[in-house]
Structure 1
């Protein structure tokens, strides 16, 4: 049975704002129970989770924000964007909500890298992460296959491309990364574009794209944490994603001990949009299994 959509106009009405280092950040929270932090990807925003939002809120306390430079949050022009700062932002949001106990993570794309940083901080006893599930994302720089548009944004002319980025360009890129039978409707593309365009977003896209080289810098640190830490992990991945599909999962199975992976046939880069029922099923199965096994409290 399909999951109910939350229209973007309704989603926006339920958002709240807090201030992070002088910048306005939009966030959402619902439900009760163990905290579940949802971390969105590039170039979209936390509305990416809208199909899963209500079903997850029936089980957990769900929390999500539009990260700095994304969606309806502030998008300062003269700012050096960093995945490490976005991890700081997630921790600041948890502090703002007075959440001091363990938190579960569900991340996608750019958000995967933020979650990887939080796993390192778990090892350093700076946050208590209870579990982490990754959707499609560049967990390993050697398997990440950026689109041409992403490569151009990284070039010296990236600032020009960003300012010229249009809805048509977003549609073209999304057609490449969604499964052929699961592409967004025109109405959904209007909403995705509204989030990208909000607060003059295209003018900073060349700054946000710096996450790609930053991943290379942090690679060994992040993968080491995934290999050594006790936090239960799972990957739920759209198999036909050209950026981080089956080839990324193959690498995950090579590098991560006792790999727990789920491949979704025919699904592309946005499984939470393309196949939310399947993602929900595999996520809840993962969480229910955790309640049956006692958790070790240390990382080695």
Structure 2
């Protein structure tokens, strides 16, 4: 009998059944099976990447928090890549080689994710992340910077751009938002379920990290997509670290409570050149959000990618990299 039966159930679940479970959030309940049946921790060797830790000030201004960054390329204008919810620097691994040829590329693990610190301090809001990224930009002395954010990272990028416009610091030159939830919409089912008190901590505690990662992969790719095992295992490793699951839950809760209407009025004042990149089949942040956002922003354009859902960096890496490089140049 396989020891990772829940994983196999999810890998082989019919698309129609998975879709029905996803709409109700019940797909996460499958994670409870992991407690009873067991799961093999399939750890992969560390990737050989140019990574280092950057010490920054935490929310209280006293304690130090370290963010993990990777640096690529030796010439050209800088690009900063910010992953989405439950992502890591690995989320960008397919497009980094295409960007580093003509750019200095900086890839960051947000607080609570990847190899960055995961303190039990409750401060995982978008504004907490923005504060740390602002410090990071200053510490690295980045100028003429193109910020690229995917999903939640796109929201972080939007808030950075608003602040940049207000302060007129002129560090950030351009912004690329890849399927970022920047306007009012129905909350993604995964985020909604993870924010439920009592139930969600129990499910996450019981669920093997691989299964948590696999659910996220299923939700961000088109129906019928065969889940990539290395992708799942790489993203799952962060949930084995102390504070990994805690950070996931706290981030989900903060995203639910974030009121986009409070910042939407500032979008019209954003004069930063902005590229919106959206997949035509995105069910998490529908393309209608991008169309509305494109109408509001004074200096933006929208590019649509075909044949992907909420993760073009995996399924359309060439097209996404080309779009970013052309815009950054």
2:9 equivalent in structure 1: none
Whole-Å separation in 1 of the counterparts to 2:287 and 2:69: 32
Q: Indicate which of 151, 160, 164 corresponds to 1:118.
A: 160
The range that moved more, 71-80 or 106-115, is: 71-80
Whole-Å separation in 2 of the counterparts to 1:182 and 1:281: 24
2:214 equivalent in structure 1: 171
Query: Would you say 1:41 and 2:84 are equivalent positions?
Result: yes
1:25 equivalent in structure 2: 67
Q: TM-score, normalised by structure 1?
A: 0.83
- Please say which structure displays the higher CA radius of gyration: 2
Secondary structure (helix, strand or coil) at the match of 1:44 reads coil
Q: Please say if residues 176 and 275 of structure 2, whose CA atoms lie closer than 8 Å, have aligned partners that are also in contact.
A: yes
Q: Please say if residues 271 and 299 of structure 2, whose CA atoms lie closer than 8 Å, have aligned partners that are also in contact.
A: no
The range that moved more, 103-112 or 204-213, is: 204-213
- What RMSD, in angstroms, separates the aligned Cα atoms of the two structures? 2.2
Query: Would you say 1:276 and 2:317 are equivalent positions?
Result: yes
Indicate how the Cα distance of structure 1 residues 153 and 168 shifts in structure 2: closer, same or farther if over 3 A, else same.
same
Unmatched runs of 5 consecutive residues or more in structure 2: 1-43, 58-63
Indicate how the Cα distance of structure 1 residues 214 and 120 shifts in structure 2: closer, same or farther if over 3 A, else same.
farther
1:107 equivalent in structure 2: 149
Q: Please say if residues 75 and 201 of structure 1, whose CA atoms lie closer than 8 Å, have aligned partners that are also in contact.
A: yes
- What is the Cα deviation at residue 19 of structure 1? 1.5
- What is the Cα deviation at residue 201 of structure 1? 0.9
2:8 equivalent in structure 1: none
- What is the Cα deviation at residue 88 of structure 1? 1.6
Q: Please say if residues 109 and 136 of structure 1, whose CA atoms lie closer than 8 Å, have aligned partners that are also in contact.
A: yes
Q: Please say if residues 221 and 310 of structure 2, whose CA atoms lie closer than 8 Å, have aligned partners that are also in contact.
A: yes
Alignment of 1:69-218 (within 5 A): 69-99=112-142, 101-125=143-167, 127-128=169-170, 129-140=172-183, 142-147=184-189, 149-157=190-198, 158-166=200-208, 167-180=210-223, 182-216=225-259, 218=260
Q: Please say if residues 144 and 248 of structure 1, whose CA atoms lie closer than 8 Å, have aligned partners that are also in contact.
A: no
Unmatched runs of 5 consecutive residues or more in structure 1: 1-7, 289-300
2:50 equivalent in structure 1: 14
Q: Please say if residues 76 and 103 of structure 2, whose CA atoms lie closer than 8 Å, have aligned partners that are also in contact.
A: yes
Aligned length: 276
Query: Would you say 1:228 and 2:264 are equivalent positions?
Result: no
